[in-house]
Amino acid sequence: MTARLDAGAMLRRAEAETGLADYGDPTLPERFAMAVDLLNGAGMDADGRRRAAEVCHWLLTSRLEFFEDRNRYPIAAEVIERPMFVTGEPRSGTTLMHALMSVDPHARALRFWEVMYPSPPPGIAGPDDPRRARADADWREINTKLPKWLHSHPYNDMLGDGLPEDERTWAFDFRVMTPTAWWRVPMQTVVGGLPTDAAAQYRIHKAMLQQFQFRRPRRYWVLKGFHGFRLRELFDAYPDANLLWLHRDPVQVAASRTMMMADILEGIVGPVDLRAAARLHLALTRESIANTMTNPMVDDPRIMHVRYQDFIADQVGTVRRYYEFCGRQLTEQAAEAMRAYLAENPGDRHGRFRYSTDLLTDIGEDLDALHEEFRPFRERFGVAIEKRG
């Protein structure tokens, strides 16, 4: 392999292998070239570059086949009706909330095997679709490589049937480069440096929902992602959507997300500088809280705000209240499925996730000062200071 990855050559290879050339977006080749520049600047050895080329080929061919499906079948005619979203800061209970909603037999959630291998539409494939086994194997590999991730995110034991965040639908759009697409490549997670376009990203997201709904029994979608910075585009794409927004003490959020991401990256790139990570994730938390406090759409009547501590105190009750907010009824069958999920899936089933706010004091932050800094946020949403490590 040459010393540098060649974006043009990889695009030509994907097109030759599939016999397709429509990426569904004329800006994709330019953006892909920017992603390849980031890969070339990551200092990888020959094996790392080979793995990066393999991932690029997987994502490019998936994209070509995905958009060809929309030419072959009337997928674009699928109506996504009244989807129910969950959002919040990282480590604020959004994944558990989403997991509970996903076991409602009347609901449909995204699954990793679908977003990792989206073509052809699952509705025209059989029950023994080999993509399920392929995604299961991928997740066994991820969990072996990143074993500590199961401490903070035990839901990864669902393997290919696991519940991706909405952002994972954008992996083949090359706007972010996240571990569930790039775990084989020795590189940091890329969440900046590539051009974003929220409206275009929600078009991709909606196309994915249409793809996975096509020729399947109609159910309502339950979804989860970090939508706080993209509220206008979210509701432009889904005007009849609702959004549940969980709020947690930002000091705990910053410390917990620092340790979670350090555990993930340690499995990909090796030892992590925890002080640098704490500075990064405190800055990201500050940025997100500032957006929450200033974005006028935070008060949109389609959004239900819930305190993390209230959710933890009554998880199924919180789901019930959200359903009522959305004009839906939580059936007893669904509620029982949620109670069974909680009983059968304790959060520490793979080991307890441990973190401490010492991560923040170690970088010179004063916890009392941080609590005072975030006081307006806590007062607005009724969020108490959490009394823990």
- Find the mean pLDDT for residues 17-28: 97
Taking 70 as the threshold, does the pLDDT of residue 146 lie above it?
Answer: yes
Confidence of residue 187 (pLDDT cuts 50, 70, 90): confident
The predicted pLDDT at position 128 comes to 87
- Find the mean pLDDT for residues 72-90: 98
Q: Residue 82, by phi and psi: left (phi above 0), alpha (psi -120 to 50) or beta? A: left
Q: How far is CA 150 from the centre of its chain?
A: 16
Q: CA triplet 131, 132, 133: central angle to 5 degrees? A: 90
Taking 60 as the threshold, does the pLDDT of residue 337 lie above it?
Answer: yes
The predicted pLDDT at position 389 comes to 45
The predicted pLDDT at position 129 comes to 92
The predicted pLDDT at position 358 comes to 95
- Find the mean pLDDT for residues 96-101: 98
Contact between residue 247 and residue 370 where contact means Cβ atoms under 8 Å apart: no
> Which residues pair with residue 305 across a beta bridge?
245
Residues in the chain: 389
- Find the mean pLDDT for residues 302-330: 98
Question: The tokens of 102 are what?
Answer: 């996903």
Q: How far is CA 19 from the centre of its chain?
A: 31
The predicted pLDDT at position 3 comes to 79
β-strand pairing of 303-307 with 242-247: parallel
- Find the mean pLDDT for residues 78-98: 97
Taking 70 as the threshold, does the pLDDT of residue 306 lie above it?
Answer: yes
For residue range 241-261, list pLDDT tens digits in order: 999 999 999 999 999 999 999
Order of strands, edge to edge, in the sheet holding 220-224?
107-108, 220-224, 84-88, 242-247, 303-307
Nearest Cα residue to 279 out of 354, 362, 353, 355: 362
> Which residues pair with residue 85 across a beta bridge?
223, 243
The predicted pLDDT at position 191 comes to 66
Helix (H), strand (E) at residue 116: helix 112-116
If you average pLDDT over every residue of the chain, what do you get?
Answer: 95
Around Cβ 6, how many Cβ atoms within 10 Å? 15
Nearest Cα residue to 173 out of 53, 32, 51: 32
Contact between residue 54 and residue 184 where contact means Cβ atoms under 8 Å apart: yes
The predicted pLDDT at position 1 comes to 45
The predicted pLDDT at position 269 comes to 87
The predicted pLDDT at position 189 comes to 76
Question: The tokens of 223 are what?
Answer: 């979804």
Residue 279 amino acid letter: R
For residue range 362-383, list pLDDT tens digits in order: 999 999 999 999 999 999 999 9
